[in-house]
Amino acid sequence: MADLELTSNVNTLICVDDLTALDEDVRIFDVRSSLNDHSYGRNAYQAGHIPMAIFANLETDLSGPVIKGETGRHPLPSRSDFEQCVRTWGINNTDHVVVYDDGPGAFAARLWWMFRWLGHHKVSVLDGGLRAWLAANHTLTETEPTFPRSGFEAKTPITRLIEATEIPHFDGIVTDARDYPRFTGEVEPIDPVAGHIPNAISLPFQLNLDEEGFFKDPDTLKRQFHEANISTSERIVCYCGSGVTAAHNILALLHTGHIEPYLYAGSWSEWIVDPKRPIATHSTHEQ
């Protein structure tokens, strides 16, 4: 766990108007997905997507193999495998990458984080996603673009990762991006064990958005994080169910000027594969 002094001097969000006004090389990605229906994203993309958008599959492009008893539900692929995927997509190091999903940005943030993992600074999440695009009266297409394979080269990561073995010794705040009832262990619709990592705090990613599905402005988010006792200089770990929505919290924190948080990519679904790791619920500190 390298203690890098990284700042938020990176792209985070882009609005529809700014996307359409970009006068540089742009590559757009459609990252629509559903944890309950793995065919949803591809089907939705084929039914209509932003012109020139490439489809990125959460299960196959943005995740590595699931190993029973070792990994969570969406383990990161190896960095070299993802670099090859980016080359196959035809992305160049000079491209401004813009990623979107249905709107909330939960899946888009995963790809946003992964490009930054390859050291690519010019990557943004489309604020409001596809809903904002349609609300601005822009059209969709069913045509799938093709680009020649590129020579994209990964650079030094501008992200931070942390492993499960490091979390008990982490000197900072551990945050959980899942819904509060999942955090407390009252419900668990996906994973076989309910609860959260001991001493973690609940930070549901949905709270990063306003009523219309756009990210709240940095000042509002900063006040919100302050109320959760998170300052802009605090060392933070972000986790969720499988390392997807945690990236949404990372984006929101960087949007406020926070130093780079750590991602626990394996998240809760990996934490619970080892029965020796403690768990906590709303009624118990640890089990």
Verify that 167 and 237 share a domain, yes or no: yes
Per residue in 95-140, pLDDT (tens digit) is 999 999 999 999 999 999 999 999 999 999 999 999 999 999 999 9
Within 13 A of 167's CA, how many CA atoms are on the CB side? 28
Which residue numbers are catalytic? 240
Please answer whether residues 251 and 125 qualify as being in contact, where contact means their C-beta atoms are separated by less than 8 angstroms: yes
Q: How many CB atoms lie within 10 A of CB 211?
A: 5
117 and 225 fall within a common domain: no
The answer to the question of residue 277 being in a domain is: no
Please, how many CA atoms are within 13 Å of residue 88, restricted to the half-sphere of its CB?
A: 9
- Whether residue 153 is contained in a domain is answered as no
Q: What CATH number did the domain enclosing 250 receive?
A: 3.40.250.10
**Which residue segment(s) compose the domain that 31 sits in?**
13-135
128 with 165, same domain: the answer is no
- Residues 125, 17 within the same domain: yes
SS in 3 state form for 69-107? CCCCCCCCCCHHHHHHHHHHHCCCCCCEEEEECCCCCCC
Check whether 285 has a pLDDT greater than 50: no
Is residue 281, in this structure, part of any structural domain at all? no
Which pLDDT value is given to residue 7? Answer: 43
> What CA–CA distance (Å, rounded) separates 56 from 86?
10
Contacts of 111 (CB under 8 A, 6+ apart): 29, 31, 56, 62, 99
Say yes or no: 128 and 200 in one domain.
no
185 belongs to a structural domain: yes
Give the number of domains in the chain.
2
Tell me, yes or no, whether 7 lies in a domain. Answer: no
- Compute the Cα dihedral for 219, 29, 236, 206 and give only its sign: positive
227 and 165 both lie in a single domain? yes
In a domain, 285, yes or no: no
pLDDT value, residue 179: 96
Task: Give the integer Cα–Cα distance in Å for 202 and 182.
Answer: 10
Mean pLDDT of 197-215: 97
**C-alpha to C-alpha distance for 164 and 188, rounded to whole angstroms:** 21
Q: Does 125 lie in the same domain as 19?
A: yes
Same domain, 128 and 187: no
Span 35-67, pLDDT tens digits: 889 999 999 999 999 999 999 999 999 999 999
The residue out of 73, 102, 135 marking a domain boundary is 135
- Please indicate, yes or no, whether residues 131 and 184 belong to a single structural domain of this protein: no
Domain identity same for 25 and 119: yes
Q: What is the CA radius of gyration of the chain?
A: 18
> Do residues 17 and 122 share a domain?
yes
Residue 150 lies in a domain: no
Whether 260 maps to a domain, the answer reads yes
Residues 155 and 166: their CA atoms lie apart, in Å, by 25
For the chain, give the number of residues.
287
Model pTM?
0.94
